[in-house]
Chain A
Amino acid sequence: MKNNHQQFIAVIIFLFCFTPFSALATPHGIVTIFHAGSLTVPMVAMEKAFEAKYPEVDIQREPSGSSKAARKISDLGKPCDIMAAADYKVIDKLLRPDFTDNNIRFASNRMVLCYTDQSRYADIISEKNWVAILQKPDVVWGHSAPDLDPCGYRTLMVLQLAEKYYQQPDLYQKTIANRPVRNVRPKAVELISLLQTGNMDYAWEYRSVAVQHNLQFVEMPDQINLGNYKFDADYAQATVEVSGKKPGTTMTMQGKSITYGITLLKDAPNREAATAFLAFMLDSSGGLKILEEMGQPPFVPARVATAEMRAVLPLPLQPLVTVQQ
């Protein structure tokens, strides 16, 4: 009798121990994501789809320039679960190894010159004459701040590459000379409202963003648009100095085909739900599909640089990435 009694109690306790755990198994709570401005539209769609699947989870996103997003984590210590950058290098340079041990490359993009049909010279602009038009004194054109937003320094890279490609030695100087500092905004996405209200004629953005906002745009040749990894050697010729980790310091960004990176941070307050989100996002029928639909070509599957990096990822994510330099 005594044994049965003891066994009975042990089973009850055993079961009791398991129940709370099984309840925890469903993701719930807040997931904080800092992401690049250019990812806003696809992120909103992913958020909706994920929250439909897991109603207990509340995704809270903060879009900004990627560099700024990184500094929110590194300098300001703002709590964050996931960070997605328009340039994966930003994660490597500003967040690894102190704040994260992983960096997943998941999509690409390319630079285009956006405009509306109200822009000056909209009726004649093309791949052939965009340089001349941007240099016209009555044309208002802009880009985002290189210190805060990869789209900003990428614009400068495109212009450097264009100089070599079109063989116009003063192209960079002359074009930038026609872009006073008031036409520079912290976030590239701000430029869109300037275009739409007629305060600006031309702005540099990612192709995906132009598509998502129904803007007209001029396609650039692959040699200069930072969109084709085959031209990485050409892209590497462009360099831009941007502010470094500390004020007064700088770091050099080198041209490379646009690669978006995403990371799960070490101090993520809601690791479990964040992992579930990443599992959804990096799924080829989930987030990656949404990206594709929104005009942003994804890497299927997503990539990490080394096998060690893959090994430190949470288990559910490991099958979703491959190792590729």
Chain B
Amino acid sequence: MITIDNLHIQLGGFNLRDINLQIAENDFFMLMGPSGAGKTIILEAIAGLVPVKSGRITVAGQDITHLPPEKRGISIVYQDYALFPHLTVANNIRYGLQFQKIEKSEGDKRLDQLLGLLNLQHLANRSPETLSGGEQQRVAMARALIVNPQVLLLDEPLSALDPRLREEFRVLLKQIHQQTEATILMVTHDFAEALALGQRGAIINMGKIEQSGTMEDLFQRPQSTMVAGFVGMKNLFSVSLQGETARIKGLQVQLGHRDSEGQGFIAIRPEDIVLSSGQLQSSMRNCFKGRVEQVISQGFYYEVHVNVDGVSFCALVTKGALLEMELQEGKEIYLFFKSTAIHTF
């Protein structure tokens, strides 16, 4: 549906090069990366709002690289909503209709539909400045959807909302995606959010695309330390690969399969590391004895850092498990993980 070929954008301090993306129709595509990586710029380039130095953007088979924004049929919802302060909520939403060649009755119908879908009926005549963050967000969505865009661009739509609203909105976004069958491209710096909503995505860092693919690919099979770090793979180690094992300093880790020789990386999700006070009878190939270095509370769960012969592992435990194992700094503990949990690259 959307193909981006070798896009090169230079804007202000940003320099984005070799941007190549493929987004399928009705995809919910996530554009992720740390702040300042250039994600919003890519969105704006697709919408035609920033100039492109070289490269090509194709939407539904049409080369739109040099098409002005008003002809692209691509709606954008900004992080700060950008509602028109001088228009009421209803007129904000209706704004795009005057440039479409549709009957007034059709326009009214769409307006009613969206007001209903987004629960905005009671706010129709209010001024945008009187609305709460969540309400403004919904108005911005309605405004973008009323023109039946072929592509919907969302720039960090959830980051300004409190956690409860964020949850509500995630549900709403899923709903919208299903009902409108639009192709959605969403920018976020929160991987958990991306994972919950998206099907496919790409991770951008310092103006370049690090990796793209399905969310699962990114989650389980990061191709670089940056991506691994971004998707929350906390146990990242530089290793020397020797056949079926990998050496992390003095430690030998069973890979369970033959891998290449030489230097490489392994990564293990903290959720895949099991801690135990004593030896476990299990099929887990890797078993080490270590000492607890640090216990960090993360709210409902705890990060436990365990030192095994100078190598620091990070595991996640529940509060219950923490108390049961009496985990505290200095305690001796056993560490287990399956060889299948190890991801090499």
In the complex, are there CB atoms of A and B closer than 8 Å? Answer: no
